[in-house]
Chains A and B, each alone.
Chain A
Amino acid sequence: MNIKFHIQDLNFYFNNNKVLKLINFEIPANIILGIIGPSGSGKTTFLRALNRMNDLESGSRIEGQILFDGEDIYSSDYDVVALRKRVGMVFAMPVPLPMSIYDNIVYGPRLSGVNDKKRLDVLVEKSLTAAYLWDEVKDRLKTSAMRLSGGQQQRLCLARVLAMEPEVILLDEPCSGLDPISTAKIEDALTELKKEYTIILVTNNTKQAARVSDYTAFFLMGDLIEVGNTGQIFTSPNKTETNDYITGRFG
């Protein structure tokens, strides 16, 4: 199986605070990896380490290596802008940029220099369709994205990432503010998308991880407690902490 990310002896600090402790594992391509764990366990920090979004925070520091397709993304000559084009991200809160739906979707492609109207049109329809939003917005692509509902906005954010044609999609609790119907639509979209993309999904909702992910990783207090097949993690976890968490004894 093709390995997308090798994480080797990863420690992560914010100032003197160690938020990730000696993480080691591999993320295969074309799967959905669910990352579960209580708040403050380092899930989001781990996710944001994969496309170097933590760089934007002052006082962040990393030890160890993250290899993406065999290349160390934290080496000094690695092109961060190129990395973020290949590793897209959907945030917990839907953040449409204050521009039209169309302009939101083509934001990434335009940055890469795609200006051909026909090509952009195709991208817009393709990405919105893949994010299960096309039918709801196809008649009002030029209206402001701020007017969409929360659930629609989050699907727009997913479509915006898809329009960059990345290889990996990181999702940081993408459904935390959404109703069950919008959540179901996003989950359907993800299940379709894993054929072409590697998807890493941080979620506070263990049931969501059980529904959509192929592999599940359980983080607790900055430690990676356990990672494995979703079926195995949820039916016969190796660690008692994992068992306690998924059965709802804490968290």
Chain B
Amino acid sequence: MRIHPRYTQGGAVAVLGGATILTLMILVFIIFFILEKGLPVINLNFLTSNPEDMGRAGGIFPTLIGTILLPLLAIIIATPLGIFTSVYLSEYTKETKVTKVIRFGTDCLAGIPSIIFGLFGYIFFVITLGFGWSIISGGLTLAVMILPTIIRTSEEAIKSVPKSYREVSFSLGATSWQTVKKVILPNALPGIVTGIMLSVGRSIGETAAVIFTAGSSLRIPSSVFDSTRTMAVHFYILAREGISAENAYGTAATLIIAVLIVNLSAYWLMNRFIAKRS
């Protein structure tokens, strides 16, 4: 029996809309749950003082430093590497078996569990290179971890720049590099920034790979060769060891707010850039 399009249309709206609302509700619930338990703990003292008694009392100041430094280092290392690689793959090579293998490889790397990267970072950066549990080991490990994501999202962003822009640029006597610099990268920027933001979020929230490589020292680091603890690791240890549920939620809430601030400011910067150009 044929169902009248009016009803299938109604059904589609209900299913699609329902899925959207459900997703939003789960998201809002999680954020609300964490903030409700965590916000009362957060105050200036909590953010600026050192933890006492393993984190049972006191604040989370050293983990703020760790949470800023590790992802920052990872992004500084991985962003140029990732963008250069994706530009090379999409603009300087023709589609061959080799590029397909490279692409398949990066896709696989992006799907590897972070603890494997942690293990690799531990063996290579911590032991072999002798960096020890340190910010540099953690940052490099996170960089390796997010590199595939940055490469693939940048490549997709670059591919979405219309082919006709390239043709026009070449026909006006541009070299590949001039085309990349003047036409491709500016137009791929929103997509590239999205990929970087995803990676920032992923590295801020990372625990397994960080514990293996940056350790979990609660002291304020004095150099990149010192161990550090990020908020995510702090939260994990507080909750896992049953040290302080209250402070764990406080840390989690701070983490969520931090990610939000990073994302919002990145999009604000990007919109300003786009507005300036057009």
B172 interface neighbour in A93, A99, A164, Cβ under 8 Å? A164
Question: Does residue B103 face the partner (Cβ distance < 8 Å to A)?
Answer: no
Question: Does residue A84 face the partner (Cβ distance < 8 Å to B)?
Answer: yes
Contact yes or no, A89 B183, CB < 8 A: no
Contact yes or no, B171 A51, CB < 8 A: yes
Residues of B with C-beta under 8 A to A146:
278
Residues of A with C-beta under 8 A to B172:
84-85, 88, 107-108, 111, 160-161, 164
With contacts A97-B165, A97-B183, A98-B277 taken as known, whether A56 is within 8 angstroms of B170 at the C-beta atoms is yes
Contact yes or no, B170 A58, CB < 8 A: no
Please measure, in the bound complex, the distance between the C-alpha atom of A161 and the C-alpha atom of B277, giving whole angstroms.
Answer: 22
Known: A81-B173, A81-B175, A91-B164. 12 other contacts (CB 8 A): A53-B170, A81-B174, A82-B173, A89-B171, A91-B167, A95-B164, A95-B165, A99-B277, A108-B172, A112-B173, A164-B172, A164-B173
Please measure, in the bound complex, the distance between the C-alpha atom of A82 and the C-alpha atom of B73, giving whole angstroms.
Answer: 42
Question: Does residue A8 face the partner (Cβ distance < 8 Å to B)?
Answer: no
B side interface size, CB within 8 A: 21
Question: Does residue A144 face the partner (Cβ distance < 8 Å to B)?
Answer: yes
Which A98-122 residues have a C-beta within 8 angstroms of B? 98-99, 107-108, 111-112
With contacts A58-B94, A98-B277, A111-B178 taken as known, whether A53 is within 8 angstroms of B167 at the C-beta atoms is yes
Binary contact track A14-37/B, C-beta < 8 Å → 1, others 0? 000000000000000000000000
B interface SS class: helix
A97 interface neighbour in B94, B168, B173, B178, Cβ under 8 Å? B168
Residues of B with C-beta under 8 A to A157:
168
Residue contacts A-B, CB under 8 angstroms, 9 given: A51-B171, A85-B173, A95-B162, A95-B165, A97-B183, A98-B165, A108-B173, A111-B174, A161-B172
Please measure, in the bound complex, the distance between the C-alpha atom of A178 and the C-alpha atom of B38, giving whole angstroms.
Answer: 62
Which B184-203 residues have a C-beta within 8 angstroms of A? 187
Please measure, in the bound complex, the distance between the C-alpha atom of A51 and the C-alpha atom of B167, giving whole angstroms.
Answer: 12
Binary contact track A188-226/B, C-beta < 8 Å → 1, others 0? 000000000000000000000000000000000000000
Residues of A with C-beta under 8 A to B175:
81
CB distance from A228 to the nearest CB of B (A): 29
CB distance from B191 to the nearest CB of A (A): 14
CB distance from B278 to the nearest CB of A (A): 5
